[in-house]
Structure 1
Amino acid sequence: MTTVTALPTDSALRELEAEAIEIIREVVAEFDRPALLFSGGKDSAVLLHLARKAVWPAPLGITLLHVDTGHNLQEVLDFRDALVADGGHRLVVAEVEQWLADGRLAERPDGTRNPLQTVPLLDTIVEQKFDALLGGARRDEDRARAKERIFSVRDAFGGWDPRRQRPELWNIYNGRHAPGEHTRVFPISNWTELDVWRYIAAEDVALPSIYYAHDRDVFERAGMLLTPGPWGGPKPGEALQRLRVRYRTVGDGSCTGAVLSTATTVDEVIEEISVSRITERGATRADDRLSEAAMEDRKREGYF
């Protein structure tokens, strides 16, 4: 069982951590069946670490939920399962493959399954009767996420309407919702990618190995370095090459790329992203390049 460590010494991180823990405690107190979206990525790993701290020394009574596209990198799935087993957590996995098999979903022509996560997510929320979902989304990732409140009410169809957002003055959060609605909650909304990594360093938060530089077979497509897998590739004309890379974000392998890197430690990663001018999603997520409003369109439909 992972132990809970002391607060980091940096005052800015202390404030961010305190805010996140207060938000998580508010969710535990205000909602009956909360869940925590857990993909095994760095943001969800930090969120789980914070949730453990928020309820310590009690065990975490929040279900973990992962929408698995079937195109996730194996290293991330192995890390997810090991962390869940170590913490004794309850994990619910909504597999996109099941929705494809029974006809509730159909494969997209471009082969990416990231946009297909919305329907399994919403169906599972209804099936499990979740009334709040804790997520690791941050405002610095995308303009649409920058527009969303920390407590974001979703309608009975899981949709997000920016015009229905509630004011959050003096850290007062309103989780009231009508029958059939639920609330998405983002405790690390005010964090940046650099904050996340500095917190990982301060708290020694474990991550999948692919977040650090390693040698990997990749091919280039639309300016991104993708890994071969069940999602396809390389196509004719896409040369496979072995490069030293790491991932800044994880997700569906068909649309999540790696970046060239020599950063093999947390400190080296922090140094690397300190000079980066592109967010991790902007640099490595093809699904966000579909249109200027790609993320907002998906969020309106019920996406994370």
Structure 2
Amino acid sequence: MPPVTGPAVQLDFRKEFDARRLFNLRQLEVSYEESTGTLWTFMRPDGRPSYNPALLDDFHAWQQGITAMFADRPHDLRFLVLGSRTPGVFNLGGDLNLFAAKIRERDRAALVGYGKSCVRILHRNLNGLGLPVVTIGLAQGDALGGGFESLLSFNVVIAERGAKFGFPENLFGLFPGMGAYSLIARRIGAARAEEMILTGRTYTAEEMLEAGLVHLLAEPGQGIEATRDYIARQRRRHAGTRAVFQAGREVAPLSLEELDRIVEIWADACLDLGERDLKVMQRLVAAQNRLPSALAAAE
């Protein structure tokens, strides 16, 4: 009898491939702790600690792999944690080199494509990948621009004292166009969202705790241990905690269509930038490019 090669078998193979790939991503370090039902993930970006296109591809594969691995046993995944292996940095945001190049080329489609890739990752994370999971963003260092945006899509944000948060895009005439306004406005109000975005001010972890955008503080170097403590405390009340976050999504839903429309606004704003703005952007890139080597030398 010939082997079965119908759609169901092909689908099973695809799921198996995605699940295996989850633990072999280039810029994401992933491990599953079965005893607590926790999937630990740490960003290890190539070069500048920002969301380069290859890292975005890894995040899409990461989400596909999680879905493939746990779709048939959803209650095995209870907590999903994302942190960073870059000392002193969670993530510095968008790929500014790419932005500057595409702005000079007047390539609106590429800018929109990058933005829509980001918001699809954010929107799936915001909705827990459709799984009964509590998501935890662990900031052991600075989360700026798109790095802060992505952090806001987690149910719980744990930050080490000394970490900084903010949106520097206003320095070069832009705004964070991939979820920041939508997420902050829903949590603490539109006026505060506009203040944070338009001033370009940097905030401490303590200030973000007071504002309600960070949920727990850890001492420097103790972020992972603080996350483990949180998971240990929540294990018996996981169902109720998860349900509260699910209810929050019902009360203040955020649609992918809204995020896409804001990406379009952001892309148009990009094309309004002048050469002076692009030079400021590239000076920031140069400073960020020096950061990983400086931090490595300090370590």
Greater helix share, 1 or 2? Answer: 2
TM-based fold match above 0.5: no
Structure of greater relative contact order (alpha carbons < 8 Å, 6+ residues apart): 1
Q: TM-score, normalised by structure 1?
A: 0.29
